[in-house]
Amino acid sequence: MSTAPAIVPFDKRDGVIWMNGEIIPWGDARVHVLTHGLHYGSCVFEGERAYKGRIYKSREHTERLIASAKLMDMEFPYSIEVIEAAKAKVVELNGGGDQYVRPVAFRGSEMMAVSAQHNRIHVAIATWSWPSMFDPATKMKGIRLDIAEYRRPDPACAPVHAKAAGLYMICTLSKHRAEKRGYADAMMLDWQGRVAECTGANIFFTKDGQIHTPLADCFLDGITRRSVIDLARKRGMEVVERRIMPEELAGFNECFITGSAAEVTPVAEIGPYRFTPGNISRTLMEDYLVEIGAA
């Protein structure tokens, strides 16, 4: 009887982490249990990928990290240049090649209450080897998506344009539910019942040669999303950003999702709706691999 390989917990791995201006051993990157970011969600982060030792769209990610901190009323303590140099150094020291890159900023433990204006803002950068989220050999078959019960919130109710830890609570719940039901992920609607995104990726559809994608007004306008839109337009494809209702899914031909982790991944099924991964999905998947230097 075969068993799956044991997963090494993230606090037990080898390597180095940049934390508050210093390169330290992986196991020394610790925070106290009474850290504000743990209790109140005052934490922002980025998800990035390095290919052959080079971080794709690194500066854009750093700019978004700092912008997210500002939206969370956090005074970011480092310049873009410092973070850029630190990310590159950690990738190098952790072996280069293909890695996932996780910068994170969070409030410390000086105050343990809702109000925490005087808490220190800690910043850390970790990287680790992480293969493609979905099997490259079977990607063109398309993944299966559930339809999430939870919805993306009204922009009047949350800082929806920050990549903030607290906004991912419903994503975790939705992905857990989807995986228990045999799906790879879940598509989320917005607070008005319109198509929004997946739990950690943006979503696109095709019809009659056009590409349609939801307006990013209550969720992140992903960096990969923008890259893929640019790639499509360079190919002469028309990309329409608009409101999309769930009942429209029956009329679309192809579907694919985009994100730093998902890259470009075709979709074959969303709940009761079926799609046939085709030329547009394949072309953009291949163009993106060339763009990131992984082809």
Q: Provide the annotated active-site residues.
A: 163
Name, in order, each residue with C-beta under 8 angstroms of 230's C-beta and a sequence gap of 6 or more.
Answer: none
CA distance 133 to 127: 16
CA distance 65 to 167: 15
Helix-strand-coil split of the chain, %, nearest 5: 30, 30, 40
Tokens representing residue 89 in the block:
């150094």
Look at residue 238 and give its three-state secondary structure: coil
Count of H helices and E strands in the chain?
A: 6, 16
Amino acid at 90: V
| Region for 156 from its dihedrals, namely left if φ exceeds 0, alpha if ψ lies in -120 to 50, beta otherwise | alpha
Q: Phi and psi (nearest 5°) for 138?
A: -120, 10
- Among the listed residues 267, 272, 264, the one whose alpha carbon sits nearest the alpha carbon of residue 295: 264
Amino acid at 157: C
CA distance 159 to 72: 7
CA distance 167 to 156: 14
Look at residue 202 and give its three-state secondary structure: strand
